[in-house]
Amino acid sequence: MKPKRMLSGIQPTGDVHLGNYFGMMKPAIEMQDSVETYLFIADLHALTSSIEPDALRKNTISVALDFISCGLNPEKTIFFKQSDVPEVTELTWILSCQTSMGLLERCHSYKDKTARGMISNHGLFAYPVLMAADILIYKSDIVPVGRDQKQHLEVTRDIAIRFNNRYGEILTIPEAVIRNESAALPGTDGQKMSKSYGNTIELFGDEKTLRKKIMGIVTDSKGLEDAKNPDDCIPYQIYKLLSGKKNADEMAEKLRAGGYGYGHAKKELFDAYWEHFRPFREKRSAILNDSSYIEKVLADGAVKAGGTARKTVCEIRKAVGLK
Ligand code: TYM
């Protein structure tokens, strides 16, 4: 039977944070042993945010470095930079011509970003079509993402179904893989963790800064002695993803019992977090200064990804009458 193909991407718009890690990177890394895996740095998508050229170059390498440090295995996974496979922009155009304005006008992400003051450009509006092209060009079966990308997956499915109805069964209809427990990890202010909210906890960086961020996570005003509800405690919600069930149950019990303050929970969270990322930090510092290694991994990945993409685009050109 044909192996399932998994694909996902991340924008190089800043340092990778715990939301990215639990929402997408960890699930993808866990799956790379059992399914054919494509992972990429979405640098074309990053252009929608008017990022500076030097920042884009630097972030692309550092996000790739972080992903590999966390366990992405370039021997198993096709890991590449989105813009190294330019066929994806051709498919975006072809799909754009099949995508109704109404479908894109309904997308929350565009509305949220412009409401927050991001400059509304055509790329930002058409973002979901490029994302659909990313997924469909590699005939991906499954796409691990956080909940904020769910609607983009629905748009992708919609575009693919319409395309197939008109031109024949060419495109694979993908499915989102969203893990309930980590679909929308809260940030230090309680909103969804996001680079654009300034509430992130990064995977790597200076210990003192990261400790300060964790100790600064918002909580309610219950005192040390009060009984607390773990579900209302953000440090607990992050801790349970890092610590394993037994330790998480123990923290939940201590919170419920009272006599255990939010400061204690944050301290335990910091320790678990620092320990969890220790081996990844070690790996990262070993390859940190070897940007030619990262560049080579991405270049090799682009050759493989390009081969798959060209096959799909060739079929599509024929189907729509360009050939
Ligand atoms: P991006 O770069 O915003 O985020 C990368 C991944 O991290 C997930 N994520 C979260 N998950 C849980 N809780 C959070 N607080 C949190 N914050 C971020 C995101 O859901 C995402 O899975 N459009 C995509 C990149 C992309 C893509 C694709 C993804 C481009 N083309 C094709 C999949 C398939 C994005 O901006 O992700």
pLDDT digits (tens, 9 = 90+) for 152-196: 999 999 999 999 999 999 999 999 999 999 999 999 999 999 998
118 and 218 in a single domain? The answer is: no
Same domain, 84 and 225: no
**Does residue 215 share a domain with residue 175?**
no
Alpha carbon distance 168, 322 (integer Å): 15
CATH code, domain carrying 215? 1.10.240.10
Whole-angstrom distance, CA of residue 291 vs CA of residue 298: 11
The residue assigned the tokens 């890394």 is 29
Is 268 within a domain?
yes
* 26 and 168 fall within a common domain: yes
Number of structural domains in the chain = 2
Q: What is the pTM of this model?
A: 0.96
Answer whether residue 212 is part of any domain: yes
Q: How far is the CA of 234 from the centre of ligand 1 (A)?
A: 21
Q: What is the DSSP letter of 225?
A: T
CATH number at residue 148: 3.40.50.620
Closest ligand 1 atom to the C-alpha of 131?
A: 31
pLDDT, position 299: 98
- Rounded Cα distance between 108 and 150, Å, is 10
Q: In what order do the strands lie in the sheet with 5-10?
A: 77-81, 36-41, 5-10, 142-144, 175-177
Q: In which domain, by residue range, is 229 found?
A: 205-276
pLDDT of amino acid 118: 86
Q: Which residues of the chain have pLDDT under 70?
A: 1-3
Q: Are residues 209 and 259 in the same domain?
A: yes
Question: Residue 166 domain-assigned?
Answer: yes
Same-domain check for residues 269 and 296: no
- Are residue 302 and residue 266 in the same domain, yes or no? no
Instruction: Give, for ligand 1, the residue of 24, 62, 70 to mutate: max count of ligand atoms closer than 8 Å to Cβ.
Output: 24
Is the shortest distance between the CB of 63 and ligand 1 below 6 Å?
no
User: Does the CB atom of residue 238 touch ligand 1 within 6 A?
Assistant: no
Give dist(CA 284, CA 286) in Å, integer. 5
- The verdict on the CB of residue 36 being under 6 Å from ligand 1 is no
pLDDT at 2: 62
